Each structure stands twice: as C-alpha cells, then as structure tokens.
Amino acid sequence: MSDMDELLVAIDERQHELLELLGTLVAYETPAPPARNTAGLQAFVEQYLQGIGFETEHWDVYPGDPNVVGVKMGTHSGEYRSLIINGHIDVAEVNEGEQWDNNPFSMVVKDGLVIGRGVADMKGGIAGALFALKLLHEHGLPLLGDVIFQSVVGEEVGEAGTLQCCNKGYTADLAIVVDTSDLHLQGQGGVITGWITVKSEQTFHDGNRRDLIHAGGNLVGASAIEKMMKIVQALQELERHYAVTKSYPGCKPGSNTINPSVIEGGRHAAFIADECKLWITVHYYPNETHEQVAREIEEYVLGVARADIWMKDHLPTFEWGGTSMIEERGEIFPALELDSKHPGVQRLAELHGEISGEDAILDVSQTVTDGGWFGHAGIPAVIYGPGELKHAHAVNERLSIDQLVTYTKVILAMIHDWTSAQKESA
Ligand SMILES: [Zn+2]
C-alpha cells in the first residue's frame, strides 16, 4: 500500500477519533450572535495545531473572539505550492424555544448522522481538516510546500476575521474554505449592506403639515418618511431591472436582489419626520464587485432624487458596508468567481472524483462565505466542505458521517498532493 492509501484507510479505521474531535468542537458553545465566546475553543485549536507541528499566532478580532493562524513551513518552502485552509469557528445562534431533540451543544451520533449546532456549518469541515493534518503529521509524511490553517471568528455576523488574515499578509497559491458546500466546489456571489439616509435640515411640528402639503401653505418642507417611500419604490424597480438584465451561470435568475431590510425614521407623533434611514441588503453576482454595485445603486437613487422637487435640494446620503452586524450594523461579503481552469480547482475536483467515486460538481454557493475575502485579496480560492446548506442554521443541524469521512480523505489527499507540486515558475 502506498503512504496515501494507508492514510486513507486510517481515516476509516480511526473514524471514532474524528467524531470525538468534532464532538469536542461542538461542545464549546460559540454561537454568533451573541459572539465574543470563542476564546476557549480557539485556545483548543491553537494547542491542537501546535501538537501537530504548526507555529501559531492568535489575536483578538474583538475581545473574546480571537483568530488563530497556524503555519507549517514546508521542507521546500517557497519552491513548492502553498495552501491555506480556512474555516470559521463561530456557529449560528440557537434561539429560545427551538425544538431540538437534544442539547445542541452535546453532539449526538445517530443513524449515520451527527447532530449538533455547527456540525454542518462548519465545525465538521474544521474537524476533518484538523484530523487530516494530524494523520499526515503522525505518519511522518513530509510536506514540501507550506500549509496555513486559519481558524477565524465572526463569519456568522459579518465580522471579517478572514479579512484580517488577508490584511496581515497571509497568502498562498490556493485557499480552500471548508465551509458548507455539500462537497461541491463553489464560488459565490457577494453581499453588501448599506444605509440610505433622507434628512431635512429643518424640524417641523405635526401642526405644520397642512402648510407643507396644501395650496397656499407656503412652507417648503417634506416628511423624510414619505420621500423614502420614493426611494424604496425606485430600488424595487432597479431590482426588477437587474433581474431582467443581469445573470450568471449557475445562479438562479433574479438572485441579485435588493432587500429593504430595515427602516427607521421619525421622532414621534408630534413631528413631521425629519430623518429616515433605510438599511438595504444587496446580493450581486460572482463577476461583479461591491464597489461597482454600490456605485450603480447610488447613481440610480440620486437620479430619482434629483427629479423630486424637495429631494433635489436634500439629496440622500449613503453609507456602505461595515465589518460587523453587531458593532456597526453593516457587512460585506465579496464575491468569489470560481476559476475552473485553475490547477488547484482541477486537482481538487479530480481527487474528489477518485475518492468519492462521483464526478465533482462545480457551481455557485446559494449563500456567502469567507471565500470572497480571498477573491478580494487576489488569492485563488474554492469553497469545499461537508454539510448541506438546508441543515446549516437549522434546528437539529445534521451532517452525514459518510460525507464527513469522504471529505476528510479528499482534504488529506489534497493537502499532500497540492504541496508536493512545484510552484509554476514566475
Ligand atoms: Zn459557514
């Protein structure tokens, strides 16, 4: 048997260890929101990485929510291909009154499934990758290129733990984001949220309304709420226009939506509303950028405002993005365009085919992940992880053990295979 065959058999034989590791990850309660609860789990991950030959560092993204990055330098670092494995350690929230069959943080093994908060999104992906790295380490199979393991926080609440890793300069010839993809190889569309504000510099009492809107009232002013209604209407028209004019292979038509998700305005019943703010959530296609989409929306809304008798002198203002839904009420998930011709994507697809016995499926995620930050940073990336999206965030979140095992084999083979090839000469 080759070294690789031995290792793949070991995953079957030591499946109970893999499940035990996943159970340990699940037992750390890391839902976001509320977040700020990952320090214990991150310390566990950091120790685990150190135990299998990684140099690590950690830093607080927010107090109580540190990122951990481990680096294992290859024996031929710089000469052979490097790999980033990225996963988020926070999980979806558990709400009061959810009808779980078991404690969501005490993983249950039943009928070929594991059940618990985060098994599909995405502690399964993290457990499999850590276990694969452990087996490679124990087997003493040297890695020629570098492997970087990023355990990040805040993904569930739009906090850009992965952006911070990119900003710190971590880079590689390929990044695999092991988030929920049902073992499809995926890119993704992007999301940006923004606030649109309509504001009057004057504040009028409710008793002035007659003079604002009736013949001979002679008072020029407006309700910011009523003006915002025009903007909401305009955004709906733009959304329909996008549905008709934009498309991307693998994305359902019209998935580039503009959702008016939150509206806030007015003081109380004795005033004409002098300010109104609208929070919008914009989905765009993998071949677009958030900068470009935000600019298009601003231009369109400003066009509508300029045609309005009052708004032309009180143009709406825009604030886009943010790095936390908790702290700033704003987020960006950049898009990731999957490059099916990239050697890393091709090799991962081949290994998936060989090990699972099924052809790899390349498509577009129906959601957003940290994969976009790699696209944004110019690092070739692919989303590939166990678990189905319909189970992520769900009550009795589940993951097929067979799929977890297949994934662990593929990721092990990929780590070894990819780092055993020389970099393309520059
Ligand atoms: Zn996820």
Provide DSSP, 401-418.
HHHHHHHHHHHHHHHHHH
Q: Element (H or E) spanning 55, and its range?
A: strand 55-62
When pLDDT is cut at 50, 70 and 90, the band that residue 39 belongs to is very high
Measured in Å, residue 212 CA sits from the centre of ligand 1 at: 50
CA–CA separation, 90 and 123 (whole Å) = 9
Out of 46, 65, 90, 179, pick the active-site residue: 90
Residue 425 has pLDDT above 90, yes or no: no
The two most distant CA atoms of the chain are separated, in Å, by 94
10 Å CB burial of residue 398 (0-12, 13-18, 19+) is: buried
DSSP labels, 65-104? EEEEEEEE--TTBTTB--EEEEEE--B----TT---SS-T
Residue 18's pLDDT is 98
Residue 160's pLDDT is 85
Find out whether the peptide bond into 34 is cis, omega within 30 degrees of 0. Answer: yes
Measured in Å, residue 156 CA sits from the centre of ligand 1 at: 7
Question: pTM of the prediction?
Answer: 0.94
Q: Element (H or E) spanning 332, and its range?
A: strand 332-333
Contact 248, 190 (CB under 8 A): no
Residue 426's pLDDT is 47
CA–CA separation, 10 and 405 (whole Å) = 11
Pair type for strands 147-152 and 65-72: antiparallel
Measured in Å, residue 67 CA sits from the centre of ligand 1 at: 15
When pLDDT is cut at 50, 70 and 90, the band that residue 55 belongs to is very high
Measured in Å, residue 239 CA sits from the centre of ligand 1 at: 27
Q: Which two tokens stand for residue 64?
A: 């109580």
Contact 393, 335 (CB under 8 A): no
Measured in Å, residue 14 CA sits from the centre of ligand 1 at: 26
Residue 361's pLDDT is 98
Measured in Å, residue 48 CA sits from the centre of ligand 1 at: 21
Above pLDDT 70, what percent of the chain? Answer: 100
Q: Which two tokens stand for residue 123?
A: 């502690």
When pLDDT is cut at 50, 70 and 90, the band that residue 424 belongs to is confident
Measured in Å, residue 124 CA sits from the centre of ligand 1 at: 10
Out of 155, 159, 179, 239, pick the active-site residue: 155
Residue 97 has pLDDT above 80, yes or no: yes
pLDDT tens string 173-214: 999 999 999 999 999 999 999 999 999 999 999 999 999 999
Q: How much is the average pLDDT of 64-71?
A: 98
Measured in Å, residue 50 CA sits from the centre of ligand 1 at: 25
Q: Is 12 a catalytic residue?
A: no
Average pLDDT, the chain: 97
Q: Is 90 a catalytic residue?
A: yes
Measured in Å, residue 68 CA sits from the centre of ligand 1 at: 17
CA–CA separation, 69 and 86 (whole Å) = 9
Residue 170's pLDDT is 98
Pair type for strands 185-188 and 362-365: parallel
Residue 1's pLDDT is 79
When pLDDT is cut at 50, 70 and 90, the band that residue 413 belongs to is very high
pLDDT tens string 284-337: 999 999 999 999 999 999 999 999 999 999 999 999 999 999 999 999 999 999
Residue 282 has pLDDT above 50, yes or no: yes
Measured in Å, residue 228 CA sits from the centre of ligand 1 at: 34
When pLDDT is cut at 50, 70 and 90, the band that residue 7 belongs to is very high
